[in-house]
Structure formats: structure tokens, C-alpha cells
Chain A
Amino acid sequence: MDDIKLRDMSKPFSKQLIELQNLMPLPAPYDQPGMEPALKPTKDTWKETYCTSVDGIVANDKLIKPKTKEEEQEMIKKFLSGLDKLFSDDTNRGFLKPFMLGVDYCAKCNTCSEACHIYKASGEKEIYRPIFRSEVFRKMYKRHKMGRSLLSQFAGGDIDINIESIMRLGELAYRCNLCRRCAQTCPLGLDNALITREIRALFSMELGMAPVALHEKGTMLQLKAGSSTGINKAAFLDLIEFMEEDIEDRIGRRYKIPVDKKGADILLIHNAGEYVTWPENPAAFVILFEEAGLDWTLSSELIGYDSVNYGIWYDDSQAKKIALAQRKAAKDLGVRRIVIGECGHAHRAASVSSDRMAVGEDNVPRESCFPILWEIVKNKVIDFDPSRNNFPVTLHDPCNIVRSMGIVQPQRQIVKALCPQFREMSPCGVNNYCCGGGSGFAVMNNQNFREWEAMVASRMKFKQILEAFKDTVADPGIVKYVCAPCSNCKGAMRDVLEHYQATAKFNVQYAGIVELMVNAMTKNDRPFFEFLED
């Protein structure tokens, strides 16, 4: 099975390129027989509809097999026109330079493979090498531009452009977390993650084929309703009211949460998924910001209450629309700065990815929450008692915040200051491994993709967690806390800990950083974490 050739990408759909077997072994206690849940078989109906012939998994549920020859030809035609658009300074202005560099200069030294958590965790499956996808794409482009000539074969244009290779490429674009760890090791400074992202962009922007969770129920819903969760303004205001009550129930104090406060210093924007899935996180922000006496507000205006921007993972057009709508919400409120809550891709989307998309009044400064939170701890603005967090804690570094933004120390300093049993994962900081939920995987729950996410994409992170807690992991009486200061990373933690029943069996918990801070507040007379209550 390992003898996969690049040309196999254009073989008939009946050939599945790999089987997901012999994955990277996990450390104790998951080194025992029966600890690895079996992957469910691929359903025949999926095989008929989607492209399951890569590895039996379906990620892109809009990548549907054409039913007629005409549809097939149309799809091929659009793929080729999209290819041309990726290489045009008219239609791919934002990424042309880094993209062309990546396509033109790869030396095929394969240094990137060793850095890739998916390749390593899969048991080194050929198709998951960062270079595999890029090289297939490169060969298809050469075939498109140079035809079947001898010169084309000589230059590497030796993969047929047919419906099989196109669909496999579109599906394979969702086997990379875009974490960019591979790019750190490239001697030529090239980025396979960017090429992957561009393939996704081609399929979305030209063929209209992006996973439903990212597009229809993601960016499209966000632009229409205000949030990818579907929460509209009225629902958001209800949630805020509920949160005020919930905070009072938890800590015995009530705070009036500022919403749409004109001219506030800070507009705080959370990943709206927090309100639904982990409401204790925005609640902890309320407690900390109010106790610290900050002049802040939330927005209830369209998109102003949801920091997510799935567009940065797959579609330039959607990314820009959302980024500008978030700036507008801030500008309309007249705030001085936007502060992004604990969400990695939202950090990067607002601060870095969209930095060159607005000027003048629209160019509202954007800031991470972590320097503010560290100031609160460092300057003792609030009294904390670290002994309240006296359980093993490790810190996950979200790729978008660390590797792609350079925010490494503030969150680390907070955890070091407030958690006596803090221990780093290895590697950490800018050399971290992705949680496995990056680039949208944590929100994609279609067919069997979540199983793949947990078993393969998050496997390296799970291994790191087990190793960080190796002294106590087998003892369910001891709480082990993975601090994941990012919504999508938390989603990945949820998925992998559930998949391996690590919370139920070994008391491995996960949440963000503000929850740890509030749990350590001396002013509170009971733990903020439910799992600490008897």
C-alpha cells in the first residue's frame, strides 16, 4: 500500500490510494490492546457520491461526483480555468507571489515530511507528505500548460488531468491543517500549506465546492445571519442575558455585560461558538474585564459578535467580506481597538491575514487578548491564588497565534504564574504541533471526517498530551488540564479526548486560559471549574 505513485491520483475511483492502518503508536496507557477504537468502514453510498478513493474519508462534502459526461466535462473545464486564475496577477493578487515561489522552486528535498504531524501520525502514509499534494498539483499544472509533449514529460507534467485526479486533489486539500510547521523547515522558505490553501480556493471560488461546514453553514451563514453558529442579534442578546445569570449562579456576583457601548475603548469579539459550546469562556472574560475595570463592550451588530473568519482557510472573497464587516462593526461603535478573544484563526484573520485589506478609518487596530490578560496578572490588578490551580496543567500553542503571529510569551507567563504544576509539551512555542483541528477540521463533522480528525490529525497532539502528563495520566483521581486558548483547538481537544475517552477514563480536561484565571481569583469562594467541585 505504501508504494503509491503520484500518477495513481488519476487512476479510476475504484482504487483507494491508502488504507488507514498501522498508525503511529500512542504512549501509555494507550499502548495497550483495545485502546484504539476501530475506524468505521466507508459506506457504499458515500463511495457512490463523494471522492472516497484517497483514504476512504470524506472531508469535502460538496465535492460530488458528476452524474453525466457533460457535468464531468464542465467540472474539468472549470478546474482548468481556476488553475489559470490562480496564476494570474488579475485574480490572485493577494497570494500570487508566495504561491508562485512555492510552485516554482521546490527542490523536493522532502525535509517538510518529518515536520508534518499528519504524515508522522498516519504511520508515514505517502499521500500525507506535504510535498505529495503540491507535486501532484504542480504536475497537473504543467500538463495543463505544456500538454502531453515530450518536453512536458521531461518537466514533470506526467499526471493526467481527469475527473479522478481533480476530485482526489480537491479531497486531499483537506488532509492538511495549514499549520505551516513544514514551512519552518523548508530550506527554500516555501510553504506547502499555502499551495494547499490555494487548491482549496480554486475549488471554492471557481467550482463552488467547499465543505458545507465551512461555506454554507460557515461563511455564507455568517454573512447572512451574523454568525456561523446561526445566532442572530436577538438570540445573541438572549445569550448575554443568560450569561449574566449564569455568572451570578457560579460566583455569586452579577455583572452588567456591556453591549453596543458607543465609544468604548475595547470591542471584544469572541468566536461565537464559545457562547454556544463553552459559555464559561466568554463569562470568564466578563469577570476579568469587569474586575480589572476595563472600558469595553461587545457588539450585537451583524458579524460584530463573531470573530470567526473561515474564509482564510479556503476562500479569499469570503475572507475579505467578513474581515471588512468586523471592522465596520468596530468603526460604527467608535471603539479605539478590537480585542480578539481566545480564538487562534480569528486572531490571525483579523490581525494579519486582513491587515492589507483596509485603510484609513476602516483600519481599526486589532489586538490579541493575551497581552491584556498578562498585564492583569503581572500588575496584580486582580488578586490570584495559584494554589487553586494546583493540578497538572499543560499549554497547547495554537498555530495561528504562535507560528503565524509571534504571540508566544504572554499566555505562557500567565499559566506559569497561576499554575504551580505547569509543564510544557514537547515541542512547544513556535515549534508546536497543531491540535489537528486547524483550518476548519474542528468544525467539519460530515460523514467519517471527525473520526479521521481524531485518529490521524489530532494524534500527535494527543501523544504530546499523554507525554506531558505521563506522571499522573493513569490516575483518574487527578485532574489533568490541557489549556487550549483557542476555540478550534478546543474543538479538536473535545473530539480527540472523546474519541479516546480520555476524560471519562483518565480525567484529562480541557478549556481555555481565562477559566484558569477566574478559577484562581481569591475573590471567588468556590471553584470556577465544575470538574473541581465534589
Chain B
Amino acid sequence: MFLTLFSYLAIILFIGFSVYKAIQFAKMPLSNRWELYPVPKEPGARAHYGGSYYEDLEWWQKPRHVSHAGEIIEMLKEMLFIKILFVNQQRLWWISYSLHLGIYLLGLWTVLLLAGAVTELAGHSSLQMMSNTSIWAGLVYYAALTAGAAGAVLISIGSLGLFLKRLFNSTMSKYTTLQEYFNLLFIFAVAVSGLVVWSGDPGFNYGREIMKGLLTFSPIKADIALAVHILLLGALLIYIPQTKMSHYVGKYFSFHKVLWDNEPNLRNSSMEERVKSNLSYKPRTSWSAPHINPGSSTPADK
């Protein structure tokens, strides 16, 4: 039962810490504008050449067009393909994308294992799924097999590849901390332990058994290899949000709330209300240089 409880805890803490991190950024004060063009939510050609509403005469008098589609498309390009790295550093992209695509495929694999577990709980055995007697069951089985196999291999290649690149590339090694090496090795260890478990059960039946255990809140049957894999994976899930590996949170804010945030402070707009509220804040402390507020004697005066 320990492994079931630990799995629950790992999932809850992963989500909880990630959400907490997002809330921390969301609660930060309204930033000064720091946008960077091209901004994909600018409509039409402007999104491509990097134009903005400031190109219009008396821009504040004109209706503001925001291309949400443009923003979403650019976001998807970045999320699904890591486009900026591809454009600017393709050699690193191959390794990095291997890792990230592996993660995405294993995410899909998890969903498919869940679907498989539900299917099995609904009365289809693994054997039936494998023999394709039901189209749905067969689809779930083979899709999980493909996604899991490809994901595990890609994530192993990606994490080890990045580790080696950072170790042997003289520039990257200068800037890589011990923790960053550890992070990659941690992912690689989880991937390898998964590969070991998979080698003994190529159909990922153990995965569906785990899912069934989680769905029915019953003990997970595991040999030593599987127990080690579950413990490592759970620890990784708990660890990720504490580190820069949680950049799935940071990246949202850096693009949507900083680089692409060109919302102007127009009179009588909702932004003006936010600015008003922000400006009403009274700092408790102050910077210390003499010019900050000459003549004041206490922080409150400043």
C-alpha cells in the first residue's frame, strides 16, 4: 500500500507545488512594461515583422485589435516544437527536443495507461486488448505501447545527451552547476529504471496495474525493479517544481505576462484601474542611496 500512497502523494505534490509556483508569479505586483517585438498577438503582418499599434497615427484613438489566434499558434509552436531553440541553435535542439518529446510522449502514455486501466476494469483483459478483439481496447493498448516505448527511448537519449553535452562542451560546462548535472542524471535514472522494468514486461501491463491500483485505491504489486522505478519517478515529480525544471510555469509568465504583454494603460480602461491600485501601494522600506528621497529621515517618509 506504501507505493500506492507514495504515488498519490507524488502526483498531488507535483501539481500542488507547480500551482503554488504559478500563484507566486501571478501574485507579483503589476510589472512595468517590458515587451519585446515581434509580439504574436499583434494582428496581421505586424506579428511577423514585429510591428505594433504604435505605428498608427493617434494609436490610442483607434480600436485595438488583438490576435488571440496568433498568440495561441505561437505558443503552440513553442510548446510543441521549442521553435526558438530550433531557429537559433539547432544542434542543441535535437537533444533538447528528444528529451521534451520524450516527456510529452510519456505524458500521453500515462493517459493511455489510465484509459487502458479503465478499459480493463470495464471487463477487457490485457490479452483481449493485445489480440485486438475490441477496436478501442486494441487502440489503447498499441498506442500506449508505441508512446511508452518511443517516450522512454527519447527521454533516455535526451537526458543523457544533454548531460554529456554539458560535460564535454567547454562553454556549457563553465556555466553548468552540480545541481544541473544532477537534474539530468536524475531524469536519466528514472528513464533507465523504467526501461529495465519495461524489458521484463514489453506490453506495459505493469503500468495498467499501477493505474488500476491508483483508481481502486488498492496496493500496487511490484518487484524490486518496479518499486525502485516508482520511488524514483515519484521523487522526481516532487523535486521538479522546486527547481528550474519547472520552466513550464516560468515560460508561460515570461512570454505571456512579460514579452508579449503590450497592453496599454488607456484612460478609463481596466488596465488603468490596475495601475491606480498598484500606484496606491506604500512601500515599507526604501532604497538607501542619497538621491532616492533626499531629506527624508525614516523609511516611512520615503
Residues of A within 8 A of B (CB): 5-6, 78, 81-82, 85, 88-91, 93-98, 100-102, 104-111, 113-115, 126, 131, 135, 153-156, 180, 183-191, 194, 204-208, 215, 220, 317-318, 337, 351-360, 363, 365, 367-368, 370-372, 375, 402-410, 429-430
* Complex: A113 Cα to B288 Cα, angstroms: 34
Residues of B within 8 A of A (CB): 25, 28-39, 42, 46, 49-60, 78, 82, 84-85, 87-89, 92, 96, 166, 171-172, 174-180, 182, 244, 247, 250-251, 253-255, 257-259, 262, 264-265, 267, 271-272, 275-276, 278-279, 281, 283-293
Residues on A with beta carbons closer than 8 Å to the beta carbon of B46: 406
Closest 8 pairs between A and B when the two form their complex, measured CB to CB: A406-B52, A430-B50, A189-B254, A156-B177, A208-B289, A205-B287, A93-B29, A94-B32
Residues on B with beta carbons closer than 8 Å to the beta carbon of A363: 265, 267, 272
Q: Tally the A-B contacts, defined by beta carbons under 8 Å.
A: 241
Among B60, B271, B289, which residue has its beta carbon within 8 angstroms of that of A207?
Answer: B289
Among B25, B244, B258, B262, which residue has its beta carbon within 8 angstroms of that of A189?
Answer: B258
Contact A6 B175 (CB under 8 A): yes
Contact A371 B179 (CB under 8 A): no
Contact A154 B265 (CB under 8 A): no
Contact B36 A153 (CB under 8 A): no
Contact A405 B267 (CB under 8 A): no
Among A106, A109, A156, which residue has its beta carbon within 8 angstroms of that of B92?
Answer: A109
Given A94-B31, A97-B258, A189-B251, also A406-B37 (CB < 8 A): yes
Contact B276 A375 (CB under 8 A): no
Most buried by A among B52, B258, B271: B258
Given A95-B34, A154-B178, A183-B259, also A407-B55 (CB < 8 A): yes
Among A187, A356, A367, which residue has its beta carbon within 8 angstroms of that of B82?
Answer: A187
Contact A156 B54 (CB under 8 A): no
Contact B50 A359 (CB under 8 A): no
Contact B51 A407 (CB under 8 A): yes
Among B29, B53, B57, B172, which residue has its beta carbon within 8 angstroms of that of A108?
Answer: B172
Contact A131 B175 (CB under 8 A): yes
Contact B28 A189 (CB under 8 A): no
* Complex: A82 Cα to B56 Cα, angstroms: 41
Among A204, A358, A406, which residue has its beta carbon within 8 angstroms of that of B50?
Answer: A406
A422: min CB distance to chain B, Å: 17
Contact A406 B55 (CB under 8 A): yes
8 contacts between A and B (CB under 8 A): A93-B278, A93-B281, A105-B250, A111-B88, A111-B92, A318-B291, A363-B267, A409-B55
Please give me the residue from chain A that is nearest to B173 by CB atom. A108
* Complex: A10 Cα to B200 Cα, angstroms: 53
Residues on A with beta carbons closer than 8 Å to the beta carbon of B84: 111, 185-187
Given A97-B28, A108-B180, A318-B291, also A355-B265 (CB < 8 A): yes
Given A97-B31, A430-B38, also A90-B179 (CB < 8 A): no
Contact B254 A188 (CB under 8 A): yes
* Complex: A189 Cα to B250 Cα, angstroms: 9
Residues on B with beta carbons closer than 8 Å to the beta carbon of A102: 254
A73: min CB distance to chain B, Å: 15
* Complex: A107 Cα to B251 Cα, angstroms: 12
Residues on A with beta carbons closer than 8 Å to the beta carbon of B52: 405-407
B216: min CB distance to chain A, Å: 39
Residues on B with beta carbons closer than 8 Å to the beta carbon of A430: 37-38, 49-50
* Complex: A156 Cα to B179 Cα, angstroms: 7
Among A78, A85, A407, which residue has its beta carbon within 8 angstroms of that of B285?
Answer: A85
B301: min CB distance to chain A, Å: 14
Contact A6 B174 (CB under 8 A): yes
Residues on A with beta carbons closer than 8 Å to the beta carbon of B258: 97-98, 101, 189, 191
Contact A356 B265 (CB under 8 A): yes
Contact B291 A317 (CB under 8 A): yes
Given A96-B31, A101-B258, A206-B288, also A404-B36 (CB < 8 A): yes
Please give me the residue from chain B that is nearest to A363 by CB atom. B267
Residues on B with beta carbons closer than 8 Å to the beta carbon of A135: 175
* Complex: A98 Cα to B265 Cα, angstroms: 19
Contact A81 B244 (CB under 8 A): no
Residues on B with beta carbons closer than 8 Å to the beta carbon of A360: 267, 272
Contact A371 B57 (CB under 8 A): yes
* Complex: A156 Cα to B243 Cα, angstroms: 13
* Complex: A85 Cα to B247 Cα, angstroms: 24
Please give me the residue from chain A that is nearest to B264 by CB atom. A355
Residues on B with beta carbons closer than 8 Å to the beta carbon of A215: 291
